[in-house]
Chains A and B, each alone.
Chain A
Amino acid sequence: MFRSRSWFGGGWGRPKNPHSLERLKYLHNILCKNTTVSENNRGILVESLRCIAEILIWGDQNDSSVFDFFLEKNMLSYFLKIMRQKCGGSSYVCVQLLQTLNILFENIRNETSLYYLLSNNHVNSIIVHKFDISDEEVMAYYISFLKTLSLKLNNHTIHFFYNEHTKDFPLYTEAIKFFNHPESMVRIAVRTLTLNVYRVQDASMLRFIRDRTAAPYFSNLVWFIGKHILELDACVRNDADHQSQQKLADLVAEHLDHLHYINDILCLNIPDLNDVLTEHLLHKLLIPLYIYSLTSESTKRPVTSSPYNRDHLQSIEVITRNLEAILTGKSSDTPPRLNYPMQRHESEEETKPSVSSVVALFLLSQVFLIITHGPIVHALAWIILQSNLSVFEEGATKILDVYVSHAKSSVKLEFSKPQLSLEKALENTSCSERDYTTPEFAGAKSFGYDTDHSSCDLDPELVSNSLPSTSHISETSSIAHDSTEDLVTQIQTVKSGSSVTLVKENMPDSPLPDSGIESTSSKAVSDFNNITDEEKQKLLGVKTTSATERVTTVENVLEREAKNIDKRPFLKTILDSLDCSENDYKALFALCLLYALINNKGVNPELLDTLLYPDIHDVSKSNVPTNSNTKQESTSSDNPEECNQSEQRMIDSFNALFISKLMVIANLSCKPASKVRLVTCELTVRLLRTAMQGSTGVASSRHISTADNLRGRAAALARNFYKCDDIFLDMFEDEYCEMSKRPLNVEWLCMDAAILLPPTRTPMSGIAFEKRLPSGEMERARRAIRTFFLIRDLYLKLTGKTETQLPLANPAPFVPVGDTLDLNDSDLISCDITQKDGTWHHRFLAVDNIQVILVEPDKQRLGWGVAKLVGSLQDLEIQGDKEDPRCLHLTIHKPRIGAHGALPRTVLLRAKFKFDDHIRSMAAKQRLTKGRTKSRQKKMQQIGRLLEVSGVSAPAPAPRHRPLFARPALAARRHSGLDGDDTERRLRRPSGHVLKDGIVVYRERTTSRESSVSRTSSTHASREGSPRARSEEIPLEDIRKSSGLAAAIPSTSSQQSTPSTSQHPKLTSTSSEETSFISSEPRFKRKGIVETI
């Protein structure tokens, strides 16, 4: 407060109006007088700076002379001067300065003013000023300042920040130095700024970014991501008991942030930038860390087939060294790079750059779920589906060629720390005496990580001279560890082998240059490697067997695929991970990855044929000459590579194997004590559908019958829990509701760090039910029901049928609230309803087959009533009142209707119902209880049909089936003799014993009562006329009568009844929808139909 007073009340002859040119002049004066910041004047300086911002904005909006004065006096230079002074508490002043600038740039609307502000390069000087960034507050204001500026970037303003001649772009280069700042908000600001810069799309600026900064920035970024992942992996490894869920969640979220950021960059569609980023991402992170982690276990096991099993090759260190050598040799178009000298420290972090395969699968799923940039995802997918270990030697350059004509393999394939910190790298790029005119960014790249102290020593001379590589390569390869030669040779032999068999060639058009390598390989050709030899034989074997055996059975195909899969180590790892015999921990991730991969838009669909091409039919065709099929494909794809792939496809589809693995999971989940979580089951089912429909989109009859069998098994599982207790029906409906409400979203699933921890059982872990194993009988039942839904859905989708039986249908529609009903001759019980909050209503209670209706008499027509509240009988909760026998406590739920029928139960009314006397109260209670039971029974019958209860629980289905469902007989009873009907019913009754389920036992009890009283009821013709009597309410009323209440009821109804002749109460609602009052006939019909199914 005192400050504001000082504005107006203060002496010093300052202008009264805070918003005026005079005021600015006055402030300018203060700045002039206080050029040196001291303890004494910093307060006044801060306030002056603040006021300057205010006046300038005011001037920008109101008076242009203010701005003119500011520029004329070059006041920004004062800012700089103040900033550059180091004095006590300078952070105070700096913060205010930065905030003033923030306000200035944020609020200026006048473009000319903005240009003027930027024109004299002061802003760039402020940007490069070395603020005390150790001060949290200064850092925050500084980075906000940079971010604010970046939001002002456009095609015009960019030139104030990026100097084309000096190749200087401080705003960008200063900002990216903080890309891995410990403060998350700072990192976010940097990411925002970079994206804002990229999207300006200024060609010259982007060239600068690409040539000078892209490689260092991206390599550091990628390294940063990788380090996070190692941390994440460590977190998963060390936390079997779910202790650090929160930390894990943060690490996962961080990884997602990175992927989204990368995706945001890629989505800006800047080709040059994307190429660099793609290469770094693939060669420095995705392949050497993610993909490599998929093999790290398996490579050690199959001793004969891996080149990495030799002792001296065990360490990844050595491998990367070799890779480097090969990479160097391979790429003649890039500056040669010396392979790693021997003095590399074994203790470096790179000695173990691999994560557990679980983490790798999880992370790769995220990659495929988020990134859609073709070159990255397609290359990755290709590596996973098609390639073998040679990818660690060759990288994905070839596959990238499809997208990037000038794909350079200049990024060495390795997950390693960039040799220079980003800051240093950037310093180098800004040394203007260096010549950066080479169009290739490779030169710049070398600054990123090849120079300086560390192991990868780059001879600067080599860079500048850009020696032709040939002579150099042979030299380097000979220097290299001798295993390098072997690897090179392997590649060569693999290549030659593939040219013979036409099968093996995973890297079509091998990228190995002939010159340099030839010399080394020539002496080693004889050194025929195990792997290739074996593979060749296998391949040849496959060829011959498929040629000789014309008969292709599923077993054959499976066997062949199982053999072939050995050549696809990554795909093999993934498919092997689907094994759920112990638990489904790993399988879930493998499923996620496969799902993400198959559904990624950036992946070439032809590639997916590896998994989705239905090979059974195809093989039989392809055994006969292969040309017709191949020709078609080669014409369709003008790319030679794809052509090559599709040629392979006929032999290399793994569809049958894939399906069989999925079927194992599906079958396991149908077992009572299965270790398959629901989420795994759901994902399996989805993938099964995709795999079975294949690339054609139509499932074969073989698959459909498999799915049908599966459905049978799932029904059997659910049947174990089929009981009459109230809970089963509620559970059944709730689960259906839950499932339709929240279908599996794989992207969300992969955001959940909790699944990274080994599957747990206890709900106390806080993990959602779907993502853990069931705990207790209740949850086992829920799981069984859900599994049944999922698998039933699979079957229906494969056959193209639509779901007609779920959600469980109500046998009749509900009366809409507000409808006027003809209640003449209906049984109505008058009651007073008191709610908890004291609201009181008088209503009449009417009970129908499925609904309880509270009506208010219609004022216009006697005997008619308006439905005020309609609730489902099924969910009704009834409770007597201990003190007052006239009262009942009812909880009425909203009926489940609508297209989904899957809305959760919602309470409509919870209130005390007070009836005229205790007899009426008892009558109401009985009627409601009975109605509830019956409406539930009807639903239970539906479930019984769905689960095929009859087929399993008893050998003679027909007689047992009938009493449950043979409702038409009731309808018939009215027309035919009543006694006949009764005998029929009695005949059926005993069969109920066959079922152990509660429902039948219960049912028996009720039927016996029904039948015992129905005879009495038959004499009451008038009863028969009432709607409920015509439907299935007869027994209910009879019970009422039998319990001696018959007299009470007519009196209640007679209160309302008028001498109406209408036998069929009508509904006056305009809607054509039938209500239960008139729908008895159709209902019966419908039941009859259902029964025949």
Chain B
Amino acid sequence: MAYAYLFKYIIIGDTGVGKSCLLLQFTDKRFQPVHDLTIGVEFGARMITIDGKQIKLQIWDTAGQEAFRSITRSYYRGAAGALLVYDITRRDTFNHLTTWLEDARQHSNSNMVIMLIGNKSDLESRREVKKEEGEAFAREHGLVFMETSAKTAANVEEAFINTAKEIYEKIQEGVFDINNEANGIKIGPQHSNAGAGGAGGAGAGGAPPGGCC
């Protein structure tokens, strides 16, 4: 499981916006979206490939810990990327974005890449927040924006991977101090072309390639 870099992500947003489902959907594709099953998890990891490099994403959900100020502020600081999630069918979750963002900006290191996610895009009929509104908010605050559905897996990959790409670019530009692990970035153990084995595999799921059949 050698990797070139490890990026730590956090997922933030109001409760019930589908953070843990997004997380599970991304880290373990084997959980097929099924209409009568809501399933999520608070932590996951997965290997992706960017620019031919193996990059491991570790994603920590911060749900349930909002009561403690010390916890949230530490989480923010230890992450290289953050997914700020709202629910397109609930206006209030969109309205709270500013607060979340303020918090994130205050506690995180200034280089943290934040991606705005409007989740539950499958529930078009119940939509309360227009896509344009999300786009406008993202533009205003300099975020990357995307609408996803943890249910149909639409855009979930893209959301996480695009964030990783941006972090990767920042590393290339030398913005991130990669030797400082407090930034949420870790350099992998010196690997010698070991990428082939895990490529494409949902690493965190632990399934060895071809493990199924």
Contact = CB atoms under 8 A, between A and B. Distances in A.
Interface of A: 2-4, 6, 10, 18-19, 42-44, 46-47, 50, 54, 57-58, 61-62, 89, 92-93, 95-96, 99, 102-103, 106-107, 137, 140-141, 144, 147-148, 151, 184-185, 187-188, 191-192, 195, 199, 246-247, 250, 253-254, 256-257, 260-261, 263-264
A46 B24 contact: no
A93 B206 CA distance: 7
Q: Is the interface of A mostly helix, strand, loop or mixed?
A: helix
Interface in B4-31: 8, 20, 24, 28, 30-31
Interface of B: 1, 8, 20, 24, 28, 30-32, 34, 36-45, 58, 60, 64-65, 67-71, 73-75, 77-78, 177, 180-182, 204-208, 210-213
Contacts of B40: 103, 106-107
A43 B210 contact: yes
Nearest to A151: B64
B207 A99 contact: no
A19 B211 contact: no
Given A151-B64, A185-B58, A250-B180, A99 B204 contact: yes
Contacts of A148: 42-43
B1 A137 contact: yes
B73 A3 contact: no
Given A50-B30, A54-B37, A6 B213 contact: yes
Nearest to A94: B206
Contact of A192 (B39, B71, B205): B71
Given A54-B31, A137-B45, A261-B70, A6 B212 contact: yes
Contact of A257 (B42, B60, B74, B181): B74
Q: Is the interface of B mostly helix, strand, loop or mixed?
A: loop
Nearest to B182: A250
B71 A191 contact: yes
A19 B34 contact: yes
Contact of B39 (A57, A62, A199): A57
Contacts of B36: 19, 58, 61-62
Contacts of B60: 144, 185
B146 to A, nearest CB: 23
B211 to A, nearest CB: 3
A1093 B40 CA distance: 70
Given A2-B212, A47-B207, A107 B39 contact: yes
A192 B205 CA distance: 25
A50 B58 contact: no
Given A54-B31, A61-B38, A62-B36, A42 B208 contact: yes
Given A19-B34, A137-B45, A185-B8, 4 more contacts: A92-B206, A103-B40, A141-B43, A264-B70
Contacts of B73: 256-257, 260
9 A-B pairs with least C-beta separation:
A43-B211, A260-B70, A144-B43, A96-B206, A261-B70, A95-B206, A250-B182, A184-B78, A3-B212
Contacts of A246: 177, 180
Nearest to A92: B206
Given A140-B58, A185-B58, A257-B74, A102 B1 contact: no
27 contacts: A2-B213, A3-B30, A6-B212, A42-B211, A43-B210, A43-B211, A44-B211, A46-B208, A50-B28, A54-B39, A58-B34, A96-B205, A96-B206, A102-B41, A102-B43, A103-B39, A106-B41, A107-B38, A144-B42, A144-B43, A191-B68, A191-B71, A195-B71, A253-B77, A257-B73, A263-B69, A264-B69
Which of B20, B38, B207 gathers the greatest number of chain A CB atoms within 10 Å?
B207
Nearest to B58: A140
B19 to A, nearest CB: 11
A4 B30 contact: yes
A18 B212 CA distance: 15
Given A192-B71, A257-B74, A264-B70, A140 B211 contact: no
Contact of B180 (A61, A102, A247, A260): A247
Contacts of A137: 1, 45, 204
Contacts of B212: 2-3, 6, 10, 43-44, 47
Given A61-B36, A89-B208, A106-B20, A188 B78 contact: yes
